[in-house]
A and B are shown apart, each in its own frame.
Chain A
Amino acid sequence: MNENLSQNGALVDVEGVDKIFHRGSEDIHVLSNLNLRVSTGDFLALMGPSGSGKSTLLNLIGGLDHPTRGTVTIGEEKIGRLSDRALAAWRSRHIGFVFQLYNLMPMLTAERNVELPLLLTHLSRVERKKHVETALAVVGLSHRTTHYPRTLSGGEQQRVGIARAIVTDPTLLLCDEPTGDLDRKSGDEILDLLQALNREHGKTIVMVTHDPHASARASRTVYLNKGQLSNEPLK
């Protein structure tokens, strides 16, 4: 990723963002004039009650959705200005997504799942294989490469999901409740892994979570309520 920072020095700069969903004649204001900055190397936990707009904000940062108003700048790129095609290409290079339900392709083995983002690159088959092996080694799953998701535990599936997210070596990882579907032990292992990716590999992480135990692993926590961010939890 271009590691250049935005003018104010942040890797992620969400500025004056509104997000309004339209349901019939009703307008639902999910985010209102929201500002957020995340520096390179940060591990930010984003907490808040259900429906507070955490996932919406994550989607905006990841370029999966467009704000109704305001700008989202990642590095030097104002992603709202990119066409759908350019945005897809940008995502493939710069963002790694980790989902709560792992979102693996059930008919592909672990290594094929991890290889998916690399299919969009010009890497040869051998090079892709090498990258996949490295990513799976980082998440500790070198011994499960040919297993299908249904034969893996939840924790292992999430590791495959993380390997898929990091295989293109993005700087920014966006994790949507990565431990939400795991037991405490598996969840802890995933959090250990995310911490290691942040500390040892320099990945900037924005993690949505409900779980204070998970947010405690982050270097910073912000709280989202009624479309607004604060540094204090809701009383």
Chain B
Amino acid sequence: MKFFQLIWSNLRRKKLRTCLTLLSVVVAFMLFGFLSAIQEALVGGVALAGADRLIVREKVSIINLLPASYEARMERIPGVDFATHQTWFGGIYQNPKNFFMQNPVEPEKFLKMHPEFILPADEEKTWLATRTGAIVGRRTAERFGWKIGDKIPIRSTIWPQTDGSFTWTFDIVGIFNGKDKGTDTTPLFFRYDYFDEARNFGKGQVGWYTIRVKDPSQAAEVAGRVDDEFANSPAETKTEPEGAFIQAWASQLGNIVFIVAAILSAVFFTILLVTGNTMAQAVRERTGEMGVLKAIGFTNGQVMALVLAESCLLAVIGGLAGLGLACAITPVMAQKLSGLLPLFFLPARALFIGLGLSIALGLVTGIIPALQAMRLRVADALRRM
């Protein structure tokens, strides 16, 4: 700490240059924060997926429906605890920009299958007793100011009612919370029996099934058994772990991890050059002063450490500021993107990785100037004052 003043004073020497370099580091780490949040939003669910849950969809495409009668057959397959289904409703609330997911489900089984959705017991009871009842996630409820007792009209883009109307009205009977931060609390779920009875076509069919297996270590075998059960039927199935299903869903946009890594590599390579150049210049300008420090007793190692500490301080300040800005702005963006990316948030591990990256950036950009400073001969350096 006693050397801090010396290190800090060197950063203050060329304020404009330091500020510009700092700004580039800030922007890089802010971008890192945003891209981490996007990556989390797209593939973060993979980590949260239940290891004991399988998704069963129609073999050719998820847009093809499966018979509701499959549920009972699935539950007879060895290794299956129970099964339940959902169907894509594709509804719009007031404006297409207000996108969020709404699916008809079997309330009891659905809540049992998804313990990550926390719904108060009395609200669950009301839902079971209300045919037009729907439960909505906390985030969407807050977004639109919905409260229990509200009647919400939602226009489906797929499903007309028997009277030809595409507008469905639901009674909000419950608002659920997520078990943890990564739980998506944007969807709305309503009762399948109401949906199936009121829809104009597709009766007795569902979108996909979720199966809970009795033993997660047997999940692959159970998946095989499910697909075998429905092989050569008019609606063959494809069964996979929930994590793989989410991954495949996200992969429709491309290899997200690769894209994010590619962008970040380009950004950090540029920053490496910018910061490295700043440090090299800063050390070159101070050759004489390095000589003075050595003359008064600083060792080569200490001078090297001072330069490295300076570059690390610059990178860490920029990194923390960038990550801080990303932290501050992400919730605002999350509000705007809640329909498109319901899980848009900056995960804590991204902050730790970012901090590590900033230290690494400081070390890499500082190492060459630091070595130059270390190798500087005192007598030569003093001649350059």
Chain A residues in the interface with B (C-beta under 8 A): 56, 59, 62, 64-65, 84-85, 88-89, 91-93, 97, 99, 101, 103, 105-108, 112, 116-117, 119-120, 125, 128, 164
B297 touches A88 (CB 8 A): yes
Flag if B9 contacts A117 (CB, 8 Å). no
Residues of B within 8 A of A107 (CB): 9-10, 12-13
Q: Would A88 and B2 be within 8 Å (CB), given that A64-B382, A103-B385, A107-B9 are in contact?
A: no
Contact B301 A85 (CB under 8 A): yes
Q: Known A-B contacts: A88-B300, A91-B295, A99-B382. Give 4 more (CB < 8 A).
A: A103-B382, A107-B12, A119-B2, A120-B302
Give the chain B neighbours of A88 by CB distance below 8 A.
Answer: 294, 297-300, 302
Contact with A along B287-298 (1 / 0, CB 8 A): 011001111111
Residues of A within 8 A of B294 (CB): 64, 88
Q: Does B379 contact A (CB under 8 A)?
A: yes
Let me know if A99 and B10 touch, CB within 8 A: no
**Chain A residues, Cβ within 8 Å of B301:** 85
CA distance A12 to B20 in the complex (A): 50
Closest 7 CB pairs of A and B: A92-B297, A107-B9, A88-B299, A64-B378, A65-B379, A103-B292, A117-B296
Q: Which residue of B lies closest to A174 (CB)?
A: B295
A120 touches B382 (CB 8 A): no
Whole-angstrom distance between the Cβ of B297 and the nearest chain A Cβ: 2
A12 vs B294: C-alpha distance when bound (angstroms) = 21
Q: Does B5 lie within 8 Å of A93, measured CB to CB?
A: no
Contacts of A101 in B (CB 8 A): 385
Distance in angstroms from A114 CB to nearest chain B CB is 11
With both chains docked as a complex, state the minimum distance between the C-beta of B287 and any C-beta of chain A, in angstroms.
Answer: 12
Q: What is the minimal beta-carbon distance from A177 to any residue of chain B, in angstroms?
A: 12
B1-38 toward A: CB 8 Å interface, digit per residue (1/0)?
01101100110110000000000000000000000000
Tell me which of B10, B289, B299, B378 contacts A85 (CB under 8 A).
B299
Q: How far is the CA of A64 from the CA of B378 in the complex (A)?
A: 6
Cross-chain contact B295 with A97 (CB below 8 angstroms): yes
Chain A residues lying within 8 Å of B297, measured Cβ to Cβ, are 88-89, 91-93, 117, 120
Q: Give, as a whole number of angstroms, the nearest-CB distance from B373 to chain A.
A: 14
Q: Which of B3, B382, B385 has the most CB of A within 10 A?
A: B382
Per the bound structure, the CA–CA distance linking A128 and B377 in Å amounts to 28
CA distance A103 to B297 in the complex (A): 15
User: Main secondary structure on chain A at its contact with chain B?
Assistant: helix
- Which residues from B are CB-within-8-Å of A85? 299-301
Contact B295 A62 (CB under 8 A): yes
Minimum CB–CB distance from A215 to chain B (whole Å) comes to 22
Contact between B296 and A108 (Cβ–Cβ < 8 Å)?
Answer: no
Bound-state Cα–Cα, A164 to B293, Å: 11
Provide the bound-state CA to CA distance between A65 and B382, in Å: 11
A-side contacts of B9, CB under 8 Å:
105, 107-108, 112
| Contact of A65 with B292 in the complex, beta carbons under 8 Å | no
Interface residues of B in 319-378 (CB under 8 A from A): 377-378
User: What chain B residues lie within 8 Å of A116 (beta carbons)?
Assistant: 6, 293, 296
Which residues of chain A come closer than 8 Å to B6, judged between CB atoms? 105, 108, 112, 116, 119
Within residues 268 to 326 of chain B, which ones have a CB less than 8 A from any CB in chain A?
Answer: 288-289, 292-302
Min CB–CB distance A41 → chain B (angstroms): 23
- The reply to whether A106 and B2 contact each other, CB–CB distance below 8 Å, is no
Q: How far is the CA of A56 from the CA of B379 in the complex (A)?
A: 8
The answer to whether B385 touches A99, judged by C-beta atoms less than 8 angstroms apart, is yes
Min CB distance, A55 to chain B, in Å? 8
Shortest C-beta distance, A84 to chain B (Å), equals 6
Chain B: CB-nearest residue to A84: B300
In-complex Cβ contact of A99 among B2, B13, B292, B379 (8 A): B292
Whether A164 touches B296, Cβ cut-off 8 Å, given contacts A99-B385, A103-B385, A119-B2, is: yes
Among B296, B299, B385, which residue has the most Cβ atoms of chain A within 10 A? B296
| Chain A residues within 8 Å of B13, by CB | 106-107
Please tell me if the beta carbons of A92 and B382 are within 8 angstroms of each other in the complex: no
Please indicate the chain A residues that have their CB under 8 angstroms from the CB of B296 in the complex. Answer: 91-92, 97, 116-117, 120, 164
- In angstroms, Cα B288 to Cα A3, docked, is 31
Question: Across the interface, do B12 and A120 meet the contact criterion of CB distance under 8 Å?
Answer: no
